Amino acid sequence: MLLAIDIGNTNISFAIFNGGKIIKNWDIPLKEYRGIRTLETPIKDALICSVVPQITQRVSRDIKKTTGVKPKIIGKDILIPLKNLYKKPEQLGMDRLVNAYAASQIYSAPVIIVSCGTAITVDAVSKISGYLGGFIIPGLNSSLSALNLNTALLPKVKLAPTKKNIGKNTQDCILNGVVLGSASAIDALIETLRIKIGKNTKIIGTGGDINLIKRFSKCAIRVNKNLLLNGIFLLYKGAFLGKIRNYPDTLLKKT
């Protein structure tokens, strides 16, 4: 059994894999994290993908204490077999690279990945060059919070389903503007990437707010809410079971 952990800016997501299938998964809000509960399922290995370095070691220690298994950290202990064309590769968030790797393995490249969470990222993987880079814009809740915090009169608005119409009050104007504006921005960014890597490139969507964006996007977005967790499993499969496709070198980082 593999325990896969995704430490994001808003939530920590856990999934237990058996034979490549998620048999149990749950989320803990980052601000509410108090430790790892006792797991009924015995764990053989654990892998962590994190974009919050200050909590990574804490979660790792908690997992070791609860399960007896010391987790491997993606990017530190485990390499991702996807060429990274960032000018400074170490600056790329592991979540973006794992999503890119997962999408390229599951759906094949070229592929565009739209991840809608605390931030919205739109990334591209080409068939030949690997991970090309992409775009980052504020996530839906981040945009709503920014409008409230940085203005004197605009209220705090809770993210909710909206309609494609003109807002008739301040709350609807904010909600519609953020949701519809973000969907339009994502469509424009997808088009920019498609010009570079192919007009028929597949689009894979993930993240907590992807279904709301998909509703208003003009692009055909295929949703995979567990893309990153599946990417963690694929890395585990390649590193420990020796079954990675088209990548002959070991995934275990040499020290």
- pLDDT digits 0-9 by tens, 213-245: 999 999 999 999 999 999 999 999 988 765 444
- Both tokens of 97, joined, read 């690279």
Q: Which residues contact 54 (CB under 8 A, 6 or more apart)?
A: none
Instruction: Tell whether the model's pLDDT for residue 189 goes beyond 50.
Output: yes
Q: Could you tell me if 212 and 236 lie in one domain?
A: no
CA distances from 159 to 23, 141, 175, 255 (A): 30, 7, 7, 45
Q: Which pLDDT belongs to residue 161?
A: 87
In a domain, 247, yes or no: no
Q: Could you tell me if 48 and 112 lie in one domain?
A: no
Q: Could you tell me if 212 and 233 lie in one domain?
A: no
Q: Could you tell me if 154 and 205 lie in one domain?
A: yes
Catalytically active residues, by annotation: 95
Q: Could you tell me if 72 and 173 lie in one domain?
A: no
Total count of residues recorded for the chain: 255
- The residue whose two tokens read 């690997």 is 130
Domain that holds residue 203: 107-224
Determine how many CB atoms are found less than 10 A away from the CB of residue 248.
6
- pLDDT digits 0-9 by tens, 114-169: 999 999 999 999 999 899 999 999 999 999 999 999 999 999 999 998 888 899 99
In a domain, 96, yes or no: no
Q: Could you tell me if 127 and 52 lie in one domain?
A: no
Q: Could you tell me if 217 and 235 lie in one domain?
A: no
In a domain, 49, yes or no: yes
In a domain, 128, yes or no: yes
How far is C-alpha 225 from the chain's CA centre?
A: 9
In a domain, 168, yes or no: yes
- Number of domains comprising the chain: 2
Beta bridge partners of 113: 123, 204
- The residue whose two tokens read 């907590």 is 208
Q: Could you tell me if 74 and 113 lie in one domain?
A: no
Q: Which pLDDT belongs to residue 247?
A: 37
What is the rounded distance in angstroms from the CA atom of residue 38 to the CA atom of residue 40?
7
Beta bridge partners of 18: 21
In a domain, 87, yes or no: no
CATH number at residue 34: 3.30.420.40
Q: Could you tell me if 64 and 130 lie in one domain?
A: no
